[in-house]
Structure 1
Amino acid sequence: MQLENATVFVTGANRGIGQVFVREVLARGARKVYAAARDPASITLAGVEPVALDVTRPDQVAAAAARCGDVTLLINNAGIARMGDFLADGAVEDARAQLETNYFGPLLLARAFAPVLKANGGGAMLNVLSIASWISSPTLAVYGSSKSAAWSLTNGLRHALREQGTQVLGLHMAFVDTDMTRDIQMPKSTPEDIVRAALDGLAAGAEEVLGDALTRQVKQGLSAEPGVYLAPVKR
């Protein structure tokens, strides 16, 4: 999908990767950008239309789709991350919270905007995933399970929306230098590099983008014997 004259809807657009997505689609010629966040006052970029959206609230998702009927590209970027493994105190509550945002959020958005994309010629959907979709670590175990669910969702949506001509792209990457990863001491990509790779892939018609060298290495390791996912990631 080409971004020239596109109308783009970005969730979690007030900071981090979402904010960079907004800047980059504008730079690539998007006609209009809806920048969605829980607090629309937190949207500070010029040239966009702020939208109040909590992706876990079906009423707000439905209202956004009704209001933004000209969208040709949906970027499901909004997400949360809580550190901890499955046996830690609060793990069940953390799992529910992360699944609500990282899995059910994109599911609600996809269902609401699929008819919009169809009406506008098919368009595209870009889901921001993670290397944690495939591998686990003690600190990211619960978060990773939500991203694994989002990966499966993306694969299913790709098949469900193919007939209406909607391109569905899954973006996987390792650590990115944003507020979310401030306390993680690991090598990090810049959000600009990740977003450019994603949008280049979108323009090329890709269905999956692996945003950095570590993610490409892990993807190759999924079919290794033993599979890379059998060993926990060490920080």
Structure 2
Amino acid sequence: MTESSALPPSLPFSQACENNRAPILAVLQAAFADCRHVLEIGSGTGQHSVYFAPRLPHLVWQTSDLPGNHAGIAAWHAARPSPNLRLPLRFDLQADAWPHTADGPFDAVFSSNTAHIVAWPLVVRMFAQIGMHLPAGGRFALYGPFNYGGRYTSESNRAFDQWLRERDAHSGIRHHEDIVALAQQHGLAPEHDHAMPANNRLLVFVRRGADS
């Protein structure tokens, strides 16, 4: 029996999560090697969390999202349990304070396909919160499509951006240079920029120390 065939048909499902999970994991295994507690911002269906947690056993993987997605995430956790996986916290970038748990402070943050979905002020708040709460040496990994030099990296990204903006004028593919400038403004230095399948990138930032 394959992993997918054993799943209940009612689980929320994203084919993109299935397609990108292995390349993302390969980066996280190195980027989060010295981390112990990860906050996933915008866990979505929950598919990433149940794939990453058992393959990163040295980490506690804390999911979070808006309450409307919690039932689906919890259903994935029930179908694919892992001792280092935590049920989702409510975390609304627009209003909620930085989450705290009994597992202690977070020294890493992961977020996938959020920066182009939420409005830019919420992207700004996400970076501000991460910069404020990550300890020196902590890492933030951000996955998604980005423009470089003011240009789309592919025609498919151009079409995707147009679809996003027609659906919600406040969303859209962000410029890599704007993301890096925002990160640096909040004490997060760019460490790596990894090419990913389907014209996506995985950006890794490290929290600078007080003297850097």
What is the TM-score of this pair, normalised by structure 2? 0.55
Residue 148 of structure 1 is matched in structure 2 by 174
Residue correspondence of structure 1 range 67-146 to structure 2 within 5 A: 67-68=100-101, 70-79=105-114, 98=117, 101=118, 103-118=120-135, 121-130=136-145, 134-135=151-152, 137-138=158-159, 140-141=161-162, 143=164, 146=172
Q: Which residue, out of 53, 56, 62, partners 2:91?
A: 53
Deviation at 1:9, TM superposition (A): 0.9
Residue 6 of structure 1 is matched in structure 2 by 36
Give the partner amino acid of 1:67: H
**CA contact 2:108–2:134 (8 Å) conserved in 1:** yes
**CA contact 2:39–2:109 (8 Å) conserved in 1:** yes
Equivalent-residue separation in structure 1 for 2:198 and 2:73 (angstroms)? 32
Equivalent-residue separation in structure 1 for 2:194 and 2:122 (angstroms)? 21
Equivalent-residue separation in structure 2 for 1:139 and 1:41 (angstroms)? 28
Residue 193 of structure 2 is matched in structure 1 by 208
Equivalent-residue separation in structure 2 for 1:42 and 1:213 (angstroms)? 25
SS in 2 for 1:146: coil
**CA contact 1:107–1:153 (8 Å) conserved in 2:** no
Residue 160 of structure 1 is matched in structure 2 by 185
Equivalent-residue separation in structure 2 for 1:117 and 1:80 (angstroms)? 19
Deviation at 1:127, TM superposition (A): 1.7
Give the partner amino acid of 1:24: F
Cα distance change of structure 1 residues 26 and 161 upon mapping to structure 2, 3 Å threshold? farther
Deviation at 1:130, TM superposition (A): 0.5
**CA contact 2:146–2:174 (8 Å) conserved in 1:** no
Percentage of pairs with the same residue: 12
SS in 2 for 1:13: coil
Give the partner amino acid of 2:109: L
SS in 2 for 1:109: helix
Give the partner amino acid of 2:142: N
Residue 227 of structure 1 is matched in structure 2 by none
**CA contact 2:64–2:88 (8 Å) conserved in 1:** yes
Equivalent-residue separation in structure 2 for 1:8 and 1:129 (angstroms)? 18
Higher helix share: 1
Deviation at 1:102, TM superposition (A): 5.2
Structure 1 residue ranges without an equivalent (≥5): 82-97, 169-205, 217-235
Higher strand share: 2
Q: CA RMSD in A?
A: 3.3
What is the TM-score of this pair, normalised by structure 1? 0.50
Q: Which residue, out of 72, 75, 99, partners 1:42?
A: 72
SS in 2 for 1:76: strand
Q: Deviations over 1:163-194 (max 9, x none)?
A: xxx554xxxxxxxxxxxxxxxxxxxxxxxxxx
Equivalent-residue separation in structure 2 for 1:107 and 1:23 (angstroms)? 28
Cα distance change of structure 1 residues 214 and 76 upon mapping to structure 2, 3 Å threshold? closer
Deviation at 1:49, TM superposition (A): 3.3
Question: Aligned pairs, how many?
Answer: 148
Q: Which residue, out of 61, 66, 73, partners 1:33?
A: 61
Equivalent-residue separation in structure 2 for 1:160 and 1:137 (angstroms)? 28
Cα distance change of structure 1 residues 78 and 36 upon mapping to structure 2, 3 Å threshold? farther
Equivalent-residue separation in structure 2 for 1:112 and 1:7 (angstroms)? 16
